[in-house]
Amino acid sequence: SFTLAIVGRPNVGKSTLFNRLVGKKLALVDDQPGVTRDLREGQGRLGDLRFIVIDSAGLEIAEDDSLQGRMRRLTERAVDEADICLFVVDARVGVTAADEYFAEILRRRARHVIVAANKAEGRAGESGAMEAYALGLGEPLRISAEHGEGMDDLYRALMPLADQVEAERPAPIEPEFDVDLSEEDAESGEGAEDWRPSEARPLQLAVIGRPNAGKSTLINKIIGEDRLLTGPEAGITRDSISVTTEFMGTPMRIFDTAGMRKRAKVNDKLEKLSVADGLRAVRFAEVVVVLLDVAIPFEQQDLRIADYAETEGRAVVVAANKWDLEEDKPEKLKELRESFERLLPQLKGAPLVTVSAKTGKGLDRLHNAILMAHEVWNRRVSTAKLNQWLGAMTEAHPPPAPGGRRIRLRYMTQVRTRPPAFIVKATHTDKLPDSYQRYLINGLRADFDMPGTPIRLMFRDQG
């Protein structure tokens, strides 16, 4: 089973599609009166596929001027909760600026996207569906939610993704809602779930960084042969964008952005393309190595790249390269650590290692850091432990009581790994200050030993 979010600008037909997938009975997970719900959920089925559908359509009703911001937040939440996003555009209207806006959110955050050009019954909307190609999110399906057309195509598009989601899931999802904690027995999980990449599925790695940071040199060193082009012939086209290899015995698939960059050099657009390509590689990766040139570390571009990897929810390792050139190593290391903490607080605790791609020194440290980051990224904490922890956290530091009404954090569970994502059921969640959310996130990091990995914390209102 998987979670599907239906996303898109207002009036493209999201609700109609939701109703079609969920069926007439609208099996809402939570439909008690008085409960504010902004994301509607239902049990969807299509052929033999069973899944949870999240509908972000409800939010179209809001009419205040913060609509856009609100839509963005809710869409991001839906996208974060979903394994697969169904991005709906109106085939008759074609692609609008608002569509582009949502497409951008999906490009940044979504794991899997299917584009559906809706209202395309009969031969309607052919050109609009073509336009949707330009969103760069894959081939658009032509569907009609109203008339039930194109559902077979949707099924065929969903099926392989559903398998992939299943294969990527390291452990069964724990019951998400309304579990009576007293019934949870001790064997429900011992915290960390050890998940190792198997030979069948190599660890997906991207090495990104500014031009001349040493990416090609590093990847060459790892794969142990000069398969990437460095040096004078470096304008030659390389076709492959990834190399599958073993790094100190661990099977890895390395996404090579350096190769793409060399090609770009010919066009004299070096800086711009290299970063864009790097960013694209991040989307394929599980672990991202941000490679710095130790002579000029943490420049603007480095920070942007590292931040992007975090926003994308990837495990991050920072590697300072050309360490062989450094004279005063202890002093420099101290300096690096300080800059790291100050400039990339969102990556708190992520491994920082020093390497020399040229000599190969420090590659063992890098290897260990990659495995460690990957393990943390896959970590699962049992619901029992989380709720015990939540109780202790709220006791130590009760949430505020805006207007005399105390915010109650009632129940917490981990809904996803890669990166770890948690849902907290609470009252008055809209009043919960950011500082309290940070308190919880930092606490999770420290108490469950999850340094460095992005952590997603979501709140659900429960009246």
Residues comprising the binding site for GTP?
8-15, 55-59, 118-121, 209-216, 256-260, 321-324
- The whole-angstrom separation of Cα 11 and Cα 350 is 42
Shortest Cβ 217–ligand GDP spacing (Å): 3
Q: Which of 30, 153, 307, 324 binds ligand GDP (CB under 6 A)?
A: 324
Q: Does 322 bind ligand GDP (CB under 6 A)?
A: yes
Nearer to ligand GDP, 216 or 378 (CB): 216
Q: Which stretch binds ligand GDP (CB under 6 A): 212-220, 381-389, 416-424, 432-440?
A: 212-220
CA distance to 15, 156, 228, 230, per residue, from 237 (Å): 46, 34, 10, 12
Q: Does 325 bind ligand GDP (CB under 6 A)?
A: yes
Identify whether the C-beta of residue 118 lies closer than 8 Å to the C-beta of residue 143.
Answer: yes
Number of Cβ within 10 Å of residue 367's Cβ equals: 18
Nearer to ligand GDP, 20 or 322 (CB): 322
Q: Which of 215, 418, 425, 428 binds ligand GDP (CB under 6 A)?
A: 215
Binding-site size, ligand GDP (CB under 6 A): 17
* H helix runs in 224-328, sequence order: 257-266, 270-284, 300-311
Nearer to ligand GDP, 81 or 302 (CB): 302
Burial of residue 43 (number of CB atoms within 10 Å: 0-12, 13-18, 19+): middle
Shortest Cβ 211–ligand GDP spacing (Å): 5
Encoded one letter per residue, x for contact with ligand GDP by CB under 6 A and - for no contact, window 255-274 reads ---x----------------
Q: Which of 213, 363, 370, 432 binds ligand GDP (CB under 6 A)?
A: 213
Shortest Cβ 292–ligand GDP spacing (Å): 10
| Residues from 343 through 402 that contact ligand GDP (CB under 6 A) | 356-358
Nearer to ligand GDP, 230 or 429 (CB): 230
Shortest Cβ 231–ligand GDP spacing (Å): 8
The phi-psi region of residue 356 (left if phi > 0; otherwise alpha if psi is between -120 and 50; otherwise beta) is beta
- The whole-angstrom separation of Cα 56 and Cα 427 is 21
Number of Cβ within 10 Å of residue 325's Cβ equals: 11
Q: Which residue is nearest to ligand GDP (CB)?
A: 214
- The whole-angstrom separation of Cα 198 and Cα 268 is 40
CA distance to 11, 51, 340, per residue, from 59 (Å): 11, 22, 39
Identify whether the C-beta of residue 443 lies closer than 8 Å to the C-beta of residue 392.
Answer: no
Q: Which stretch binds ligand GDP (CB under 6 A): 101-109, 307-315, 319-327, 409-417?
A: 319-327
CA distance to 31, 98, 442, per residue, from 40 (Å): 9, 22, 30
Nearer to ligand GDP, 5 or 258 (CB): 258
| Residues from 227 through 246 that contact ligand GDP (CB under 6 A) | 230
Nearer to ligand GDP, 290 or 315 (CB): 290
3-state secondary structure of 419: coil
Q: Which of 217, 383, 387, 453 binds ligand GDP (CB under 6 A)?
A: 217
Nearer to ligand GDP, 129 or 291 (CB): 291
Q: Closest Cα partner for 191 from 369, 386, 351?
A: 386
Identify whether the C-beta of residue 282 lies closer than 8 Å to the C-beta of residue 206.
Answer: yes
Binding residues (CB under 6 A) for ligand GDP: these are 209, 211-217, 230, 258, 321-322, 324-325, 356-358
